[in-house]
Amino acid sequence: MADNNGEGSPEGYAFPLRNPNVTLNERNFAAFTHRSAAAHPWHDLEIGPEAPAVFNCVVEISKGGKVKYELDKNSGLIKVDRVLYSSIVYPHNYGFIPRTICEDSDPIDVLVLMQEPVLTGSFLRARAIGLMPMIDQGEKDDKIIAVCADDPEFRHYRELNELPPHRLAEIRRFFEDYKKNENKKVDVEAFLPAQAAIAAIKDSMDLYAAYIKAGLQR
């Protein structure tokens, strides 16, 4: 036990106790000084038992946000990449599907339609309803279009063509325009149905599994 002048306290630190009868617990000291590895949202969060149709999604950017957050693949933290150069905001919550990987070496992207913005770093269950094929500066960068599986207003949707046409037009226009002021070209191709999205997720799951297997064999 440390007295009020700090004698006996860890590393010589003084703990000015107001109540001299309080005993400092050694287990608490260990908890304060022990550094444990944080869970990595890409690798440690399970994709979910119903994948690839219904899956967990980590939200990077909230609906209505203008800050482009993205996963830092080394640390697992969410970092600020940039603030959008245009006077537009993300039309829906945007993030990635854990335990997937695509040709660009990133997890597969997903736009999740639901009623409310979700905090960055949260995860939710989503259902794939379509695929938006996209070419970003000459490179394939497809997006999964999904709905929150636990939002009573959106969870009944199963296909993109069930959505109001204007909503799809908004999504297309956002991705066509959000990099224009950076002088970067983005082409959005014709939307594809849920089955194409499910196939794309399955491919990204298989590729992720192949990377993990190869890593374990080294």
Catalytic residue ranges: 90
CB within 8 Å of 172: residues ≥ 6 apart: 132, 188, 191
Report the distance separating Cα 68 and Cα 2, nearest Å.
48
140, 73 contact by CB (below 8 A):
no
Instruction: Please return the burial class of 83, using the count of CB atoms within 10 Å of its CB with bins 0-12, 13-18 and 19+.
Output: exposed
Report the distance separating Cα 188 and Cα 40, nearest Å.
31
Which pair of tokens denotes residue 140?
Answer: 């394939």
Which pair of tokens denotes residue 50?
Answer: 């119903």
